[in-house]
Chain A
């Protein structure tokens, strides 16, 4: 008998971020929905446990009875992940995180994103690194939106970020994972969770991210701007599960030519 090489399957570790274990690997945003009711229903259909929010000025003197997002997405039911969207400097991002921590009674898990310019919303990595350093020093647990540069991803992990979140494509573009190779390299190197953040357009994009070994995917526009956001939220839930299962199952090797599925022996013609 010849030795068959032992098949190395990836280990099925639960998703753990900053010491908390999550069942769902889909993280969702709350922007761009028609109304708060649709937001609530879509999040429920997505099965997400971590939900991002933005921090903005209150409208002075305008409709004080307006429902609040956190009434629909309750911090008791979800892990609220405040973002620093719209920040172009480390200073603004740090300020936003401090306001978010006060807003959420000391909850210190944040999504750091520092943007470079308006057209691509591409991450400004020098400012991101500066903000991450200051936030970590101040006790924040930083999940960081970043470029898909494997070396910068390692640097962010060394600094103490609790999750690395490279973009698959520009925010809100729906272009899907543009550089699978880099995402793969980041996953291979990382000991903290790697989540694709931004760029997913449809379910197959989310599946690809998971098949690459990502620990999760964060998305907003792909669900909120679908014609039927609630149906798409459910599709994304299934896509994430399918991609994860396929990753754990270990895909067959790719071949250049065909390989018959039915036996050649025993043919009668």
Chain B
């Protein structure tokens, strides 16, 4: 299946979880926050939250700003 991650198309196995996506992005263990279709998915739910075809996922972190 295909999902949009930070605006880019990403291929994932059907039913892949957010935790699996984060692993695939080499972001495991990093401080990130995840939104699916504009709703926050708390970190505690990442291992159980299955993504669906066409989901819009945002993975964000803190960067320098004023």
Q: Footprint of B on A, CB under 8 Å?
A: 29-33, 36, 39, 52-58, 60-61, 64, 68-70, 80, 82-83, 85, 95, 98-100, 102-104, 171-172, 198, 218-221
Contacts and interface: CB of A to CB of B under 8 A. Distances in A.
Contact of B27 (A39, A54, A58, A198): A58
Interface residues on B, range: 20 to 34
Given A99-B58, A102-B42, A103-B31, A57 B66 contact: no
B58 A57 contact: yes
Contacts of A80: 62
B58 A33 contact: no
Given A58-B32, A99-B40, A102-B40, A69 B60 contact: no
A52 B65 contact: yes
A172 B40 CA distance: 32
- Classify the interface of chain A: helix, strand, loop or mixed: mixed
Nearest to B25: A60
B60 A103 contact: yes
Interface in B1-43: 5-8, 10, 25-27, 30-35, 38, 40, 42-43
Contacts of A218: 66
A64 B59 contact: no
Interface in B34-66: 34-35, 38, 40, 42-43, 58-66
| Residue among B26, B30, B35, B62 with most chain A CB within 10 A | B62
Nearest to B10: A60
A54 B25 CA distance: 21
Given A68-B30, A103-B31, A103-B33, A58 B66 contact: no
A171 B61 contact: no
Contacts of B31: 68, 70, 103
